Amino acid sequence: MNIFGIGLPEMAVILIVALLIFGPKKLPEIGRTMGKTLKSFQDASKEFEAEIKRGAAMEDEKPMEARLEPSEPAQLVEAEEMTAKTDAKKSASDV
């Protein structure tokens, strides 16, 4: 029997030390509390995993689409004016 890399002799020593430190009346209460804590941690872990899987499934279902968002109108006007000036300079230099 090997739990978390701890063999049976090591487990017995740990239990005896815990029994000596906490006493026979407190030990079952500590075990119960640890069991409840581990159970709630396990439930939270399963819920987190399910949420991640749901999110991944939703991402796979949605088609990807790329959209260009228009800039602000003032910036568009400035860009068009600069393009027009550049085109005019090219036309003048070609002549």
Listed by start position, the domains of the chain span: 1-61
Read off the pTM.
0.44
Query: What was the pLDDT predicted at 46?
Result: 93
What is the pLDDT at residue 8? Answer: 82
**Residues in a beta bridge with 6:** 3
Paired strand residues for 3: 6
Q: What percent of the chain has pLDDT over 90?
A: 14
CATH number of 1-61: 1.20.5
Give the integer Cα–Cα distance in Å for 20 and 27.
10
Output the pLDDT for position 36. Answer: 93
H/E stretch holding 3? none
CB-based burial, 22-42: b 16+ in 10 Å, e otherwise: eeeeeeeeeeeeeeeeeeeee
The whole-number pLDDT of residue 34 equals 85
Residues (pLDDT < 70) of the chain are 1-3, 62-64, 66, 68-79, 89-95
